[in-house]
Structure 1
Amino acid sequence: MANTVEEKKFSLKEVLDTFSLCLSENKEVYIEHYVEGWRGLVRFMNSLGSVFSFISKDAVNKIEILANLLNGENGTHYITIQSMVKYELDSGLVDLTQRDKHPESGCRTLLRLHRALRWLELFLERLRTSSEDSKTSVMCSEAYNESLAQHHGWIIRKASGMAFCYLPGRPTFFEVMNVGTPEEVVAMLGEALPIISDVYNITENVYTQHELLQLP
């Protein structure tokens, strides 16, 4: 499945369409579409070379775990993030004190993607509102420091900061999105980011309600 993630060309429109399917009428988040949206985001990161590999490789691993849970014998409990949280808490599959007891629980796994989604959301918003000569390395570092950095150790934070220095310019990012002109990219990001933000905020609220945001 990881190969499929890497081989298919990234399309910002496809990611937008996929995340649009994430929310039910009752604002529940469908894990199937969430995972598929993340597959698109991994393609985005991989299309820019190895700079984001420390995040994309971990994301692929988390995608696999969630897909296996969704397709497993208890898959009916993993239809939405809300049903997953209820099932795993009721079944004692979440340990708030140690990670080794349930290292591949759905709640813990999705939390890692949730944190990374915030970083990408912040970074893409900076790309959307920046000027043509804005430094992507600065934008990416700022977004990282506001989100993922607080969950990473010193070594990863240091390596990330160095990797971001090698990011291509804003025009390359826009080209990779396969939308069209820079104006069309900005317009589509304007459509995509509120949807991604909704998915993030609803997930954040669920995890906050159940005190799961600091799962080890």
Structure 2
Amino acid sequence: MAGSAVIEEQKFSLQEVLDTFKLCLSENQDVYVEHYVAGWRGLVKFMNSLGNVFTFISKDAVNKIQILVNFLNGENGSHYVTIQSMVKYELDNQLVDLDKRGSHPESGSRTLLRLHRALRWLELFLERLRTSTEDSKTSVMCADAYNESLSQHHPWVIRKAAGMAFCVLPGRPTFFEVMNVGGAEKVVDMLGDAVPMISKVYQITEDLYSQNNLLELP
């Protein structure tokens, strides 16, 4: 029974991701770090449920999630409740590596930026899945989404490995199956709710980082 409980825990649920990203935003449109991280845990399950194809991203995401959780649970955790409060606190206290000296390689702001960039790729890919047809190639959709977003932040070696990984992606029915929602129509409907929520959280974060000149943190 314990084994099946573990398997169940690791099972991806699109509904869970939708619910979590809905919780991300406060009334003032601040982004709660706790729910952002929880949403990312769900997205990691999504990537892992498709085998080892996305390991190069999911492993890094797990590492970044843990760093943010440590900040949230740390002595200054009250400053890390929202992305907005985190950025303000770290900038006010010179805890962000703005001058490329490597003095704060794991600041919360830098760590979240890495997840933020990957979130854009997943948002674009999920939207392509939503609007795709049965015979659409997931490898092409995923590669196009990657090239539009995350690839520009990766060195050539990783871009090459990613291109090869995408070539062996399963077909659209497999992706829809791992969503654990039901038939294709239900998946498309739920993606229609989930993608805009992810997009909204992404855009609020993007605007915040842009206003504070943090989008190119080393």
User: Equivalences for 1:72-83 in 2 at 5 Å?
Assistant: 72-83=74-85
Equivalent residue of 2:157, what SS? helix
Q: Which runs of 5+ in 2 are unaligned?
A: 1-5
Number of the residue aligned with 1:114? 116
Q: Please, what is the CA RMSD of the aligned residues?
A: 1.3
Cα displacement string for residues 134-184 of structure 1 (whole angstroms, at most 9, x for unaligned residues): 000000000000000000000000000000000000000000000000000
Name the CA distance, whole Å, in 1 between partners of 2:126 and 2:8. Answer: 20
Number of the residue aligned with 2:27? 25
Name the CA distance, whole Å, in 2 between partners of 1:41 and 1:94. Answer: 27
Number of the residue aligned with 2:202? 200
CA contact (8 A) 1:88 1:94 kept: yes
CA contact (8 A) 1:6 1:46 kept: no
User: Equivalences for 1:3-18 in 2 at 5 Å?
Assistant: 7-18=9-20
Given the alignment of the two structures, is residue 61 of structure 1 paired with residue 63 of structure 2, yes or no?
yes
The aligned amino acid for 2:28 is N
CA contact (8 A) 1:117 1:200 kept: yes
The aligned amino acid for 2:125 is F
Which TM-score applies when normalising by structure 1?
0.97
Equivalent residue of 1:186, what SS? helix
**How many residues matched?**
213
Q: Which runs of 5+ in 1 are unaligned?
A: none
Equivalent residue of 1:215, what SS? coil
Given the alignment of the two structures, is residue 210 of structure 1 paired with residue 212 of structure 2, yes or no?
yes
Equivalent residue of 1:121, what SS? helix
Name the CA distance, whole Å, in 2 between partners of 1:13 and 1:29. Answer: 19
The structural deviation recorded for 1:98 is: 1.7
Name the CA distance, whole Å, in 2 between partners of 1:118 and 1:77. Answer: 25
Equivalent residue of 1:101, what SS? coil
Aligned with residue 132 of structure 1, among 131, 134, 138: 134
The structural deviation recorded for 1:97 is: 2.4
Number of the residue aligned with 2:42? 40
CA contact (8 A) 2:97 2:105 kept: no
Number of the residue aligned with 1:155? 157
Identity %, equivalent residues: 78
The structural deviation recorded for 1:5 is: 11
Given the alignment of the two structures, is residue 144 of structure 1 paired with residue 146 of structure 2, yes or no?
yes
Cα displacement string for residues 45-72 of structure 1 (whole angstroms, at most 9, x for unaligned residues): 0000000000000000000000000000
Name the CA distance, whole Å, in 2 between partners of 1:122 and 1:97. Answer: 31
The aligned amino acid for 1:211 is N
The structural deviation recorded for 1:96 is: 1.5
Name the CA distance, whole Å, in 2 between partners of 1:87 and 1:200. Answer: 20
In 2 relative to 1, CA 122–178 (structure 1 residues): closer, same or farther, beyond 3 Å? Answer: same
Number of the residue aligned with 2:3? none
Name the CA distance, whole Å, in 2 between partners of 1:94 and 1:87. Answer: 10
Name the CA distance, whole Å, in 2 between partners of 1:190 and 1:48. Answer: 21
Number of the residue aligned with 1:187? 189
Equivalent residue of 2:30, what SS? coil
